[in-house]
Chains A and B, each alone.
Chain A
Amino acid sequence: MNTKQSSDNASAIDQIWKSFASVKLTIGLLLTLAATSIVGTLIPQNEAPGAYLQSFGETLYRVFSLLGLFDMYHSWWFRALILLLVVNIIVCSIDRLQATWKIIFARNPRFNIARYRQLKNKTEFNQDGAAAHLKELYLPVISRRFRFHRTEDNDNGFAIYAEKGRLTRLGVYVVHLSVVILLIGGLIGSIFGFEGYVNLGPGDSAHTIQLRPDNQILPLGFEVRCDDFIVEFYDSGAPKEFRSSLSILKQGKVVAQKDIIVNDPLHFEGISFFQASYGQLSPTEMILNFTSQATGMIYSQTAAIGQPVVIPEDLGTFTLKKFTRQANFKGHNIGEAFVGELTPPNGQPIEVTLPLKFPSFDKMRKGQIIVAIADFVPRYYTGLQVSRDPGVWVVYTGFILMIIGIYITFFMSHQQLCVEVTTEGPKSQVMVAGTSNKNKMGMQKRVAQLAHRLENLPPP
């Protein structure tokens, strides 16, 4: 009773094991992963709910949201697919490794001469000389080409067995292991790592950053300061270089310093700061042009935010109030702009908008005086991507193993060779045969070449 039950259990486990060891499952999983991955490239990921509602409507939004399609690659079912693949890889590899272990790690590989005699592509020829003589002749040639070789004498001759590349049979396990290591590295990163950002103007510093995607605040445990930030452009207007001079401070003391550019981050205590983006800050000072309608004169004046400027010809005063990223004009977004206040000598203050993109915008106001921005020194803030990923070295190990493993599996093979010499009187008959577990055509060529070489060896 008891034993029957346990054997039932055993066979149930066996069944499960078998189904996980099946390559049919692998093919199904790989194709499913390929097909489902497409979905996440058709629906933009991790946008604001409002944007989705607008483009899909209420019902579809609910359905998609339930299926996790807005953050598809982190949804439970996509993760389940990946987990299945990992189990599949591990079970399958264990299953097959049990079978190949003996071949791979045998101390004294066994050779079966009958197997070589049956090979279709063997080369046979006759050669002068007795067995002992030929053995002396052949051995150096073979040992140069094959790491392992063994000679067995028999009644009327001998056989040399040789092989190499037995360990290349492990290549495919290295590939599979690398996939698992990659995913473990990814998991470590997603559990113990974070990804966030911080924007700093020149001179600013921060103790905290904001995390993606939900903008949580995370304390850094130290202070990061932007000492300087430089943006350079090509003549075409395309960006050439972004350079942030960063300092790391602990208890007010600078403990690290580096100029970072794109592709060259600063690392400190496992946290990395990447040059990721930039944006404009309000300039502190600018040159304004005042055009008098009455006289046509243009007066240039330097202005700073909050400080009134007296306009000549007794036309009043002008004060820059603020800088805004998105100024509004009759419901249209006119981009970055300054807002100022013009106070005529005897009248009410008027608000004046000076968009950076449209220098002669103020003409439209049709006032006594036209205010325009002549020049300013742009000030930029640097956008830093801040991340910690303790799994990255695990992932990189996986990368290296994968490349090595694929190379071994595709382009190296386990090659076995047999040279049998049968002597009759002063003449010998020689058979050269060999196989490999991969690229059999290439092996045939190599065996033929070796046979040719042996046949034409000069006597010692």
Chain B
Amino acid sequence: MNSSLILSIITFVYGLAGFLYIFAWIFKKPAAAKIASWVAIVGLMGNTAGIILRWVESYRMGIGHAPFSNLYESLVFFAWTIALIYLVVERKAGNRTIGAFTMPIAFLAMAYASLKTGISSDIQPLIPALKSNWLIAHVITCFIGYAAFATSFGIGAMYLMRQGREAEAVTWLDIAKPLTLFIFVLLFSRVLLAGNWAMAIIIALPLCVLFYIGVLLVRRMPADVKNRLLGVFPEAAILDELGYQVTLFGFLFLSIGIISGAVWANSAWGRYWGWDPKETWSLITWFIYATLLHARLMRGWRGRRIAYLSLVGFAAVLFTYFGVNLLPGLHSYGAFSQ
């Protein structure tokens, strides 16, 4: 039994948990949701075991290092953190429908790590720049932050579904929404799936159309079905508060993540900040969430606007994580210029 095998199995375990949460939500089967929680816990334990085993394996190979050094390992840790944060939120909120919106993200992260060609699951030796304890601190804190933002993204999406169209009309958003959605989906299909822009459009268009068909279906749904689906969500005010608490947690860790990255950069290259695209994008993300905090605290923004901001914030997180590789003239971290 090696770690890669365990982690591939965990992909399916998370998938099953996500599926059960969604099933329990749509068909109103609390028993299934309970099973889902247990499946998620098993998944989290297996994920933990996989990470530890991978660590041990790297030492057996004589190139021992903490398993936080490449895209594959970071995705695995990302999934682990999402599952952990979600399970804590589930306990605190006493509501299992949130799992239908967050566990699938953990599943997608693992599935992407295992299936996407070009992401190697081999344990690789560390290049010199990565041999630093600051790197471990940096990766762990950043990904705790990212996972918290993923969770608040899921909660924000629930909030928007629950509030629907009635409350707090924000008309300019109605025009900007489809366009923004298309741009985001296009970008991410280009970054994550497609090798060129034409292909990305071919993927993105149907996705957006599907999304709007979904929205339309939900709007046309008979009132009783709608009530049944959305009635089991936590109350809007609780979703709002919960999302905010998770965002605070994410902001603390994003800050520590950026700071530890800066300290690492200073110990490796003699500069703590160089406006490298990755650094800059993490700062952009930080600015967006700082906006969210101030808007909520001082301008009294609540609900939909905050939910939208946390969607935009999470898009920035994803771009910091994956999208930066698309940008021109990038010297990625760890690359050792010759």
Within 8 A of B (CB), among A371-406: 385-387, 389, 392, 395-396, 399, 402-403, 406
Within 8 A of A (CB), among B288-310: 288, 290-291, 294-295, 298-299
Instruction: Flag if A238 contacts B125 (CB, 8 Å).
Output: yes
Residues of B within 8 A of A385 (CB): 269-270
Instruction: Flag if B284 contacts A274 (CB, 8 Å).
Output: no
Q: Does B42 contact A (CB under 8 A)?
A: no
Q: Considering the chains assembled together, what is the distance between the CA atoms of A403 and B251 in angstroms?
A: 10
* B270 touches which of A33, A239, A265, A399 (Cβ 8 Å): A265
Q: Does A345 contact B (CB under 8 A)?
A: no
Instruction: Flag if A27 contacts B299 (CB, 8 Å).
Output: yes
Instruction: Flag if B131 contacts A407 (CB, 8 Å).
Output: no
Q: Does A222 contact B (CB under 8 A)?
A: no
In the complex, what's the smallest C-beta–C-beta distance from B92 to chain A, in angstroms? Answer: 10
Instruction: Flag if B284 contacts A34 (CB, 8 Å).
Output: yes
A403 in contact with B287 given A26-B294, A241-B128 (CB within 8 Å): no
Residues of A within 8 A of B267 (CB): 263-265
Q: Considering the chains assembled together, what is the distance between the CA atoms of A180 and B264 in angstroms?
A: 22
Residues of B within 8 A of A33 (CB): 287
Residues of B within 8 A of A44 (CB): 328-329
Q: Does B41 contact A (CB under 8 A)?
A: no
Residues of B within 8 A of A276 (CB): 269-270, 337
Write the A12-51 contact mask toward B (1 if CB under 8 angstroms, else 0).
Answer: 0000000000011011001101100110111111010000
Residues of B within 8 A of A392 (CB): 266, 272
Q: What is the size category of the interface that chain A forms with chain B?
A: 35 or more
| A23 to B, closest residue via Cβ | B298
| B295 to A, closest residue via Cβ | A27
Residues of A within 8 A of B252 (CB): 403, 406-407, 410-411
In the complex, what's the smallest C-beta–C-beta distance from A92 to chain B, in angstroms? Answer: 9
Residues of B within 8 A of A441 (CB): 241
A37 in contact with B338 given A44-B329, A238-B125 (CB within 8 Å): no
Q: Does B83 contact A (CB under 8 A)?
A: no
Q: Considering the chains assembled together, what is the distance between the CA atoms of A262 and B259 in angstroms?
A: 19
Within 8 A of B (CB), among A205-264: 234, 236, 238-242, 261-264
Instruction: Flag if B269 contacts A38 (CB, 8 Å).
Output: no
Q: Considering the chains assembled together, what is the distance between the CA atoms of A117 and B11 in angstroms?
A: 54
> For A241, A263, A276, A410, which residue has the most chain B Cβ atoms within 10 angstroms?
A263
Q: Considering the chains assembled together, what is the distance between the CA atoms of A133 and B298 in angstroms?
A: 46
> For B268, B270, B284, which residue has the most chain A Cβ atoms within 10 angstroms?
B270
Q: Does A195 contact B (CB under 8 A)?
A: yes
With A43-B328, A265-B270 given, can you name 11 additional A-B contacts, CB distance below 8 Å? Answer: A23-B298, A27-B291, A33-B287, A34-B288, A45-B275, A236-B125, A238-B125, A263-B268, A387-B271, A389-B270, A406-B251
14 A-B pairs in the complex with CB atoms less than 8 angstroms apart: A31-B287, A33-B287, A238-B125, A261-B128, A263-B134, A263-B264, A264-B267, A274-B270, A392-B266, A403-B255, A403-B256, A410-B248, A410-B251, A411-B252
